[in-house]
Each structure stands twice: as structure tokens, then as C-alpha cells.
Amino acid sequence: MSAMNTKTATSMKRLFPRLLCVGTATAALLLAAAAQAAAPGIKGTSFTLTAKPDYISQPDGQSVYSWGYACTAGNGSAAPSTIPAPSTLCNGSMQIPGPTLIVTEGVAFTVTLNNGLPAAAGNTSILFPGLAMTSAPTGGAVGLLTTEATQSSPVTYHLVANSPGTRAYYSGTQGDLQVEMGLYGAIIVLPATAQTGPGCHSGAVAHYVAPGNSAEADFRLASSAYDNPRSCYDREYLFQFSEMDQNIHETALAQVTARSGCAAGAAGCSLEVPTEPYHPSYFMINGRSMPDDMDPNYATQYPHQPYNGNPHMHPGELVLLRIIGQGRWQHPFHEHGNHVRILGRDGNLLLASTAAGEANLAGPLLFTTTTTPGLAMDGIFQWTGKGLNWDAYGHKPGLTDPLANLPCTPDANGYNSAVTALNYYEWCQDHDKPMQALPFGDVAGGGPVTLPDPNLFTNGAWYGGSPYLGPDATVRATGPTGTTPPSGTIANSPTGEAGFAFMWHSHNEREITTNNIFPGGMLMMMLVDSREFQIDESN
Amino acid sequence: MLSSIHFSRLLVGSVLCVSASLVGAQSFRVQCPTSTVTHPSAPDAEPPYIGPTYTGTSGYPSTPANTNGAIKCQQISGGDGYATMGDGTQTYMFSFGPLSGLTDIANGLPGTEVPSVFNTLLPTGVYLAPGDPATTGLGALLDAGGNPYNGAVGLAMDIPNLVTIYDISVSGSTVRVVANAPLGVKVGDMVTVSGTGTPYDGTFAVTAATAVNPFFAANLAFTYTDAAAAGQGEITESTTATAALAARIDGHVDPRPILDVGVMNGNIPAPMMAIDEDDEFFLTLTNVGMIMRPDLFEQHTVHFHGYPNASAFYDGVPDASVAINIGASFTYYYLAPDAGTYFWHCHITPPEHLQMGMVGQLYVRPRQNRVPSSTTLGAALLTQQTDLRTACRRPSDGATPAVTTTPDLLCSNPVPAVATTATGGGKYAYNDGDGSTIYDVEYPIQIHGFDPNFHFVGMTFNPEGFSDMKDKYFLLNGRSYPDTVTAGPLQTVAADGTNHFSQPLPSVINITAGQRALLRISDLDVTEYQTLASLGIPMQVVGYNAKLLRDQAGNNLYYTTNSITLAGGESLDVILDTCAVRSTLGNPASSCATPMATGSYFLYTPNLDHLSNDAENFGGLMTEVHIN
């Protein structure tokens, strides 16, 4: 471990004084270079999954025996195409959540399930709530809820989605155990037709290209979530919520080990794992607990947990959230920063009973999207800073810095219309409006607030270094005063990113812990980034 | 990655800004200005809403077209305290306590005050006692005007600020003073110049707070007009000349009363905050430390839960912003967002600080409350559409100019699809434009849960476990039944032997038969979902997550139910209508033809195991609704 990392570990302890036993490894992971998320998966019309055991890792150092779905090469193509297919994609090892299956509305597809679980685990199957079967499953054996894959006979499900949207798939056999063990995943159904109209972008939204940055690629799977222009979006993220009771996993492993080699179906070749009382102590988003969820997709240190939760966006972008409740508990997922406009549930767009042009969305605006097992929802999040009553970019006319003098040219709605400007989508009514009466850096004069002496407060690891958005404004605000960008802001560099960080987390607050350690669990930091900062979701 | 642009700017900046040392001379302080860009004058007024603050697409530096809302201020302490549970157990909390609006808080009201009340001192010679207002007695604390004392605790006249003058000169009748340090004046301040031995001496009104000069930075100089000084010679490097501001209220505080009152003075729920749309809200959090946990050096923060388009800086998440240390104050600043029922809480180690009690109520009243009774609500909401900050447009909504597309996917208050003739003058939950959220009385109700084991461990120096957290006290406004129906503030003796008003807010609901009550329900339980059911009075849900339940085409999506279920981190607005039959069916503002029977009704949880107070198999999440 380098001296720099050691120093950082010390400062993390200072920032989280109640952190009970964070290791230096955990602190180092928090330092990982910006890794963004998207909603990667495999796209095609024919998928073959194999349920099989392996171990997943948790940030407290635990390796937990689990069951997940594996795919092998030839299972569709990696999507979105702008994320290079990693070598670990469909390499035959199981993953939690299972591979995200990306299909198109109205296009029939098949999912073949092989049973690679230990013989004592018995059969397994997959439920596809909300999808239509085009014909009865083939192969396998009759089960209670659906046709099941036996140790020797795979089952193939023949399916079609009649509407776009996000949905869950999960085991339909002894679900209290098999879903707990990790047999769940997501299906993203893309609309049949690309949408056009206001707010619908055919490519990536224009991005102000700061020195050293290149234009941003388009990481969307489609231009809209549904067959409706009001569901168009600029970025998308998929979050699957689940929890884990380690006792169940340990008991399952003990019984599987004790009965290894037994013949499937033979007397005694079964598991009797109690799934009640239920005391989960791991609370995961996309199979990972914080801070692991903020590491890259397909990160090599999590070979069985490929998907992350690390959303980034620029002001004004329409960001599609695909949220699924897996597991067995509800989790109130609180999005800091703004409300989420719910578009639809389980692939059903919520529309007003009376249409008024395009103004026909009827889904609620939620600041807490409460996840429910078996329920998927799609919603749009957007952050603009409208109504703060101060200039979030810290503009100040008269300075020599041209970026402090940028104009704000309002469109009909009052947002800066200059698509290629750094402050595109700035809320123009607050342009140049100061926040502080006494000087804070050189952004001075007339504002209502006086900020405290920097010696009186503690900086957060994701603090951008000033109240303002972006490295230019932050350096302008802090540099000349001699205070310099503050220390300890290791995860959101004041001179590099300086985004506005918002915590997205379960508001059953005890679930933002990892096996009794805070912070952890169902928690991630969402970054609204200045357009000086290039968001690259491909890493 | 310091680019050359940055580097050159740093050089320029270092020349320009000699005065950086001005920041924050004091650790504890409050902020409650009487004039801002948005509210240039009359900071107390909450004028009738006649038009938007800015009608166009641009704002600053234009003067507001209409002044809307007021300036509101509040001070709270972050620290610890004790509360009394339904079975009589004294429970330790990490908690916020009131440091403004003490009398209002003790009376179950918000501690949010206008500047003229917030900036009020106690009479000379009157001092607050530890535990106040419980110690001195509710109603016994009066300000100098004989009104109930609701000022900012600790507020004191600042000492006269005095600087030595480096140079004083006059051009025409404009006198320019260049001081050796910033005096911190603003236009209109009265400055006393003395020690020049010339006609420069005297008291004058500042006309410019900064002045370019050959000597120092512009903010070390100011100007004023004095005809009598015309023709005076320049005086430089005088050894006697000074410029001074008189003692004044500028946010300076005396720490002693803050510690006397703020320590171990926590409330559950934390001090209530209520503001009106268009208000500027200055919330000062003063961290007095947790005296029972000297091993902790915890910061505290305020998260304004649900604020749309929040800034990361004022969002209260310590990881994403700054957090105030013990012994200092931080002032949060927000322009009031859309009307609705929000709530607030500390965001430091949330599973611990929320469970331990750092949760409070916060709501924003709509502009519609300020619409005069001569104006139809529909017309008023159409007028609001010219304010782009709050507009929620759709084609053919009747507002001018017409739009062809909707501007904002996340806007919250479209014009109703069905116009009504309802006029203003009432109290409303939202800017509904049709009068459908009218109410007569409002009751903020916060659901919470305490795990006594966690609170016991929290008082010791041992680490707490999180995953086995199990609530055994189920609280409505910090009280379990039967305390929920006890009138007035509950008090608890703290570790220093003094009584403190620990739970100021009853949750008994009193409604005159035929009237409508708005319940602003929020849930900050950190472990499980809670259901609240109504026996006998239907619950009409009109808002959810601080938003009117209305689709983008303007159709109301209200629903009537007998129970609501909330997770921690959710809020919901319920109207209890005690009128069985209105004189005009479907018009909630019409007179009541047949009221419901008077008597006691109940709000209770059908989570039957939550109808308990720890070992007592009676109590819990229940309160009474009295129809009188």
C-alpha cells in the first residue's frame, strides 16, 4: 500500500468517525477513479442461463456462498455497444444479479435454463412476471409454478414482451431459498419504435468539451423507455435491491457439502434450510454493498457481481432509473436532489385518463421510490438547480476568467439554451446572483448568506470543495483566498470533478450498513457533474 | 491539473483579494438579514400574491417585479437530550432542540420566525435558565415589548466595530474613507468618523460600501456624502482617525445562553419548521455537543428531505458537503420550494442519529393561502404560470401565452383539468387551483420508532449493532398512546436535574364537527414500514411525497381510504372531512349540511404489535380524533 493510500485511509476514518472496522482496502476502493454505470447487459433473442453456485464478496471481507445465473459466449451481444464487452462477459461463471437480458417489444425470445446447482438443491426454474409465453416451456419437468430444469433436463421458456419497460426475472422454485441465494435478474424491454419530439435526442446530448476531455459517447440502450416521447431520456441506470441473511447461506453450504455426490431425487438428497426467522445483515444494490457498488461495471475484483450503482449526470439531462425490488423486503430508496417522475410499473406506462397533447403522464412524483419484491418501476430524474436563488456556477461578471463571464441565454422555459456551453441548462433567473454578502473567494457581494470559517466544519469525502458546481468555479471560489481547495475531498476532486454529490440510499437507514458497519449497504453517491467533466460510462 | 488559465487567475485573484481574513470571526452565530436581493424591504410581510417575483426568463440583477413571501429564520441546537416514553421510561436521545421561538415551540407551534421576532433580545437583566422555557415557566418569558419571547437564543448586540483610518479625502461632497481593515459596512449604515479634528468628524450614512482607491482593496474603503466637508484636505496616515459602526444586532451571539439552554435540551420531534412558498429561509444549526457522550466529537447536519433541485452544499449530507463541528454554527439557506409536506433530519451516520431521535417536521404552505377571497383560485393559478420557476404548463391549459409542449417533466402543480369557481381566502395544502385541498385545521404528525436497547447502548461508550435494531416504542410526534392525547408539552428531567420540554407536540386532533383537518404525515422510522388507520373518518389522500396528487393533464388523483402505509423517508397529506354531507356535493368549501357525530375517534396502527409501549401491551402508535 502506497503512502498516499495510507494517508487516505487515515482521513477516511476521520470522516466516518463511527466507522467500526473499515480496512485500508475499503478506503482504497473509495478512491477508485470515476467509474460510471449505465445499464449494461446482453441483447438478443435467445439466451441460455445456468444456475450454479459460487462465492460473492462483501466489503467487510466476507465471501458468501451463493447461487447465481451464468451465461456463456454466444448469448446475444453486449449492450450498450459503447461499453466494450469485457473478457468476463458470459464467461460461464455465475453472477448476481443474473445477466440483464435486453430484448425488444414484440420480438419473441427464448430463455433456456440449465440446472447447475448441487444435486441436493433439487430443481430450479425462472418466472417472468409480465411477459407472455408464446408456447409452453419445452424440456424440464413439471413444477409448482412453472416448468423446472432438472439436473439432467434443461427447460426452455418461449416468451414475448407486449410492452416496453423494466421487469424482473427470478427463481420460481422454492423461492424463499433460491431467490435469497441469488437467483434473480432483470429484463429490459426496449420500445419497438424510436421516439422523436421535444426532449428526444437521437444521439448523446451535446457536451461542453473542456481541455483534455473528448466528446461523450451515447450509453443508452434506446432513446426512450416506452413508446411515448415523454419517456425519452439521456442516460439510464438499473438498480436491483436485495438483502441477504448470511446464516441461510452458511446452512445451505453446510448441507450441500454434507450431501455432495448424492443422486438427484434420491431419498435424503435435498436441503432443509430454515429461511425463517430472517435476519439479513447485507443490503445490496445490484448485488454489491456500498462502497463496492461505486466501483466499475465488470470490475475484476467482483467476478460474480458485475453490475455497479454509480450514477453520474450533467445538469438538465433526463436520467432514466430502472428500479427493481428483488429479495423479500421492501426498501424505501430515497433519491436526494430531486423527485423522480414515475413513468410506469412492470412495463405499464401510467397515462392520464384525459390526454392533453403530450402532457399525459400520470405517474407520481416521488422523493422516495419504495421498492417492493417483484415490482419494477421506471422513472425520470433530472437536476437543474432551478430555484436555488443563487448562481450554482458562481458566475461573476468582470473577472478575467472567461468562464466566470459566461452568458445565460434563456429558452422559453428559462434554461440556458446554449447547447455547447459549459452552463447549458443553467437556470437563468439565478444567473450571476450571489449567495454570500461577504467574500468567499471572489464570488462576492450582495448575497444573503455568510459562510462559516472553513476551520469550523468538516469536509466530506464527496464535497466538491465549494458551494459551486465544477472545478473552475470551485478554484475561483477557494483558490484566491488562500484557503485552497479543502482537504479530504478525495472522492470528488475540487480541481478535477467538483460535482454536486447526492446520496441515494435506503431510508430504512439501518440498511445502509454492511453487517453492522456504517457506511455500507444500500447506498451510493450520485454526482451531478459540470460539463467540464467528461462522464465516461464505459469503464 | 492546474491549467495555465487557472494559474493566471490565481495570480490575479491573489492581488484582488487581500481581505480573505474577514471570514467568520465567531464560532457561534445566527443569520437573519432584514434585506436581501429577493426581499429588498419589508422582510416580515407576507403580501397577497398578485404576480410572480420575476415574470420573464431572466432575473438578477433586475429588481423583483413583485415581492413575494418573506424572510424567515430559525435557530436549532444539535446535541443530546432525554424524552419520556409511554411507559414512563426516561430515554436518552441524540437530538435537536429549539434555540429560537422557544415559546412557540413549547406551544406546539413551529419555531420559524420573521426577522423582527427572531432578532429580538431579552430585556436587560433577564437571563435564560437551563431548561427554559420549562424552568421559568411557559408564558413567563417575555421580550422587552411584553410579548412572549421567541427571539434567537444568545443573540446579543455586537460590540461597536471600529477601524483606524488610513486615508480620508473628499471630492465635491463625496467623502472617501480608506480604512486599515474592512469595517464591513453596507449602504445605509451609519458610520461615525472621529479623531480627525476637522469637519470630517461626525456620523454619516454610507452611500457606497466599497470604493476603488490607490491604497488598498476596494472593500477596505467606503464613501458617504457630507457637504460640510467640501474642500477639506486629504488626511493620510493619521494616528487618531477612526471610523466606527455602533453596536448592533448583526448575528453576533453570546455563547453562554446558547449553552445554558441548548445543552441536553433535545426535542422529539425536533423543532418544527414551517415556511411559505417564496420565503427565504435561514436555518442556523448550532452544534452544542453531546454532553453525555464526551467520547464523541460528532457533527450534525440538517437534510431538507424532499427539497426539489436541492444544492449539494445545503443538502446536509456530510459526505457530500461540509458538516459543522461542535462549538460552531452553520446557516442553511433555501428559497422555499413548492408547497408540500417535507421533513428534516440529521444526516450524520443516519442509522444511528435518526434512530436516536434527530428527526423533525417541515412543511411549506402554498401561495394559494395568500390569494384574496375576491379572486378565483383558478385565475390565481393561471397567473402563477407566468412564473417560470413554478410553472407547470400543458397545451390548452388556459394560461397565456399558450404552449405547444410541456416544459417540465418534474413540475408539480398543473392547472386543474376541471375549472371551478372556488375563490381564495382559505387555507390549502397545495396550489390546487380548484379549492379541493381546503382545510380548517392542520396537524403535522410524524411517525417514528425507538429501540430502547439501541438507545441504552447509545448512552454508553459501546458500539451499536444495526441489523438487529428492533423498535419497541412507536411514536406519533415523539409520544406513544396515551401520552399522544396529553395536552401541552411533555417534560423530562435531564441528567443535570433540570426539567426540559422534551416532547412539545401532542398529536390529539381536534376538529369542529363539519370541518376539515389536514394531517401532514411523515415517517422517519429507520427499521420498518408503519400503517396508520382511521376508525370512522375516511382519509382522503391529496398529496404524496410533498406533491399534489395530480396527473400532468390536470386530473386530481386523490383517493379515499381507511389506512395509509409509509416507509421511513416518506410523507403524505391526508384530509379528514368530518362533514357527512356538504350543502353542495363535491364542493369541500361549501357549508356542511350534515356533520358527523361528535365524539372520540381513533387513529391507530393495524400493525397490532405496534400498539405497545415496550413491555406494556397497551399504547403505541395510536391517538384520538375529537370531533367537537
pLDDT tens per residue, range B131-160: 999 999 988 999 988 999 999 999 998 877
Judgement on whether residues B84 and B188 belong to the same structural domain of the protein:
no
Q: In A429-534, which ranges are continuous DSSP H helix?
A: 471-478
Q: Which residue segment(s) compose the domain that B204 sits in?
A: 161-245
Same domain, B147 and B172: no
Question: What does B211-237 look like in DSSP terms, one character per residue?
Answer: ---SSS-GGGEEEEE-GGGTTPPPEES
β-pair type (B359-365, B270-276)? parallel
Residue B381 counted as domain residue? no
Q: How many residues does chain A have?
A: 539
Residue B211, all three cell numbers: 470604493
In 3-state terms, what secondary structure has residue B314?
A: coil
Q: Are B474 and B570 found together in one domain?
A: yes
A337/B22 CB distance under 8 A: no
> CA B86 to CA B84: how far, in whole Å?
7
**Shortest CA gap B358–chain A (Å):** 13
* Helix (H), strand (E) at residue B71: strand B71-84
Tell whether B57 is covered by a domain: no
B76/B100 same-domain check: yes
- Counting the structural domains of chain B, the total is 3
Share of chain B above pLDDT 90, in %: 79
pLDDT at position A63 is 97
Confidence of residue A408 (pLDDT cuts 50, 70, 90): very high
CB neighbours of B537 closer than 8 A, spacing ≥ 6?
B576, B577, B578, B596, B601, B625, B627
Query: pLDDT > 70: what percent of chain B?
Result: 96
**Taking residues A5-19, what's their average pLDDT?**
33
Indicate the pTM of the whole model. Answer: 0.91
Cis peptide before B538 (omega within 30 of 0): no
Instruction: Say whether pLDDT at A440 is over 60.
Output: no
Q: Classify residue B78: in a domain, yes or no.
A: yes
Q: Return the bridge partners of B162, or none.
A: B244
The residue type at A335? E
Q: Which of A16, A410, A508 sits opposite B567 (nearest CB)?
A: A508
Nearest to B435 by CA among B561, B542, B512, B537: B542
CA distance B40 to A291: 46
Please check whether residue B321 lies inside any domain of the structure: yes
Q: Which residue of B has its CA nearest to A335?
A: B306
**Could you tell me how far CA B527 lies from the centroid of its own chain?**
27
Do A323 and A371 meet the contact criterion of CB atoms below 8 Å apart? yes
Q: Average pLDDT of A365-376?
A: 95
Cell of B344: 428534516
Contact residues, chain B, for A508 at CB < 8 Å: 525-528, 567-569
Residue of chain B with shortest Cα separation from A401 = B9
For residue A429, give the nearest of B58, B525, B546 by CB distance.
Answer: B58
Per-residue pLDDT of B523-562, as tens digits, reads 999 999 999 999 999 999 999 999 999 999 999 999 999 9
The shortest C-alpha distance from B248 to chain A (Å) reads 17
Predicted pLDDT of residue A363? 94
Among A507, A524, A525, the strongest candidate for a mutation testing the B interface, having the largest count of B CBs within 10 A, is A507
- Three-state DSSP at A15 gives helix
Contacts B37 to A, Cβ<8 Å: 433-434, 446-448
Residues 6+ apart with CB under 8 A from A10: none
CB of A27 closer than 8 Å to CB of A12:
yes
Q: How far is A363 from chain B (nearest CA, A)?
A: 7
Q: Cell 429501540 maps to which residue?
A: B451
> What whole-number distance in Å separates Cα of residue B389 and Cα of residue A34?
33
Lowest mean pLDDT among B5-19, B153-167, B498-512, B573-587: B5-19
Please tell me the predicted confidence (pLDDT) of residue A7. Answer: 29
User: In the A/B pair of chains, how many CB contacts fall below 8 A?
Assistant: 381
Torsion of CA A217, A223, A229, A233, to 10 degrees: -50
Long-range contacts of the stretch B578-582 (C-beta < 8 A, 24+): B578/B511, B578/B512, B578/B513, B578/B514, B578/B515, B578/B516, B578/B517, B578/B537, B578/B627, B579/B513, B579/B514, B579/B515, B579/B516
Q: Which of B334, B365, B396 is the endpoint of a domain?
A: B365
CA dist., res. A472 & res. B353, Å (int): 35
Task: Report residue A30's pLDDT band, with 50, 70 and 90 as the boundaries.
Answer: very low
Instruction: Name the least confident of A391-405, B551-565, B572-586.
Output: A391-405
What's residue A26's pLDDT? 36
Structural contact between residues B554 and B397, judged by C-beta atoms closer than 8 angstroms: yes
- Contacts with B551 from chain A: Cβ below 8 Å: 352-353, 360-362
> Where does a domain end: B218, B245, B272?
B245
Cα distances (Å, whole numbers) of residue B604 to B474, B504, B508, B562, B601? 11, 21, 12, 11, 10
Chain B: nearest CA to A3, how far in angstroms?
A: 21
pLDDT of A439: 43
- The helix (run of H) or strand (run of E) holding residue A8 is helix A3-15
pLDDT, tens digit, 9 for 90 and up, residues A85-124: 888 899 999 999 999 999 999 999 999 999 999 999 999 9
Inspect the interface and report whether the beta carbons of A17 and B296 lie closer than 8 Å.
yes
Exposure on the CB side of residue B594, measured as CA atoms within 13 A? 3
Residue B561 to residue B599: CA distance in whole angstroms? 21
The answer to the question of residue B2 being in a domain is no
Query: B35-89, pLDDT tens digit by residue?
Result: 888 998 888 999 998 888 988 788 888 889 999 999 999 999 999 999 999 999 9
Distance in Å, alpha carbon of A287 to nearest chain B alpha carbon = 18
Q: What is the pLDDT of residue A484?
A: 60
State how far Cα B271 lies from the chain centre: 9
Element spanning A28, H or E: helix A24-30
**Cross-chain Cβ contact A503/B280 below 8 Å:** no
B564 and B580 belong to one structural domain = yes
| Residue B119 counted as domain residue | yes
pLDDT digits (tens, 9 = 90+) for B260-305: 999 999 999 999 999 999 999 999 999 999 999 989 999 999 999 9
- Residue B23: pLDDT over 50: no
What is the three-class DSSP state of A248? Answer: helix
pLDDT at position A212: 66
Same domain as B145, residue B88: yes
Distances (CA, A) of A179 to B380, B489, B586: 53, 49, 48
pLDDT at B8 over 50: no
Contacts of B354 in chain A (CB under 8 A): 509
Residue A418 has pLDDT above 50, yes or no: yes
Residue A270 scores a pLDDT above 70: yes
Instruction: Report CB contact under 8 Å: B405, A357.
Output: yes
Cell 477596505 sits on residue: B220
- Looking at the DSSP bridge assignments, the partners of residue A320 are A236, A380
> What are the pLDDT digits (tens) for A148-185?
999 999 999 999 999 999 999 999 999 999 999 999 99
Between A483 and A236, the higher pLDDT residue: A236
CATH number, domain containing residue B106: 2.60.40.420
Answer yes or no: are the C-beta atoms of B420 and B435 closer than 8 Å.
yes
Whether B15 shows a pLDDT value over 60: the answer reads no
What is the distance in angstroms between the Cα of B507 and the nearest Cα belonging to chain A?
A: 24
Q: Which bin fits B78, alpha (ψ -120 to 50), beta or left (φ > 0)? A: beta
How many other CB atoms are found less than 10 A from the CB of residue B63? 9
Is there a contact between A472 and B549 if contact means CB atoms under 8 Å apart? no
Give the C-alpha separation, B355 to A421, whole Å.
45
Separation of alpha carbons B374 and B383, rounded Å: 15
B405 closest CB neighbour out of A198, A449, A511: A198
In angstroms, the separation between the Cα of residue B472 and the nearest Cα of chain A is: 16
| Mutant choice from B183, B319, B367 vs A, greatest count of A C-beta within 10 A | B319
Q: Which of B202, B220, B245 is the last residue of a domain?
A: B245
Please indicate whether, in this complex, the C-beta atoms of A450 and B3 are within 8 angstroms of each other. no
The verdict on B210 and B77 lying in the same domain is no
Asked if the model's pLDDT at residue B472 lies above 80, the reply is yes
pLDDT grade, residue B185 (50/70/90)? confident
pLDDT tens digit sequence for B190-228: 999 999 999 999 999 999 988 999 999 888 999 999 999
Q: Does residue B171 sit in the same domain as residue B219?
A: yes
Residue B400, all three cell numbers:
397565456
Decide if B57 and A429 are in contact by the 8 Å CB cutoff. Answer: yes
Listed in sequence order, the residues at least 6 apart from A287 whose beta carbon sits closer than 8 Å to its beta carbon are A56, A95, A96, A97, A182, A240, A242, A304, A305, A307
Kindly indicate the confidence band of residue B461, based on its pLDDT and cuts at 50, 70 and 90. Answer: confident
Mark out the alpha helices in A271-350 (DSSP H runs). none
Task: Report if residue B19 sits inside a domain.
Answer: no
How sure is the predictor about A357, in pLDDT bands with cuts at 50, 70 and 90?
low
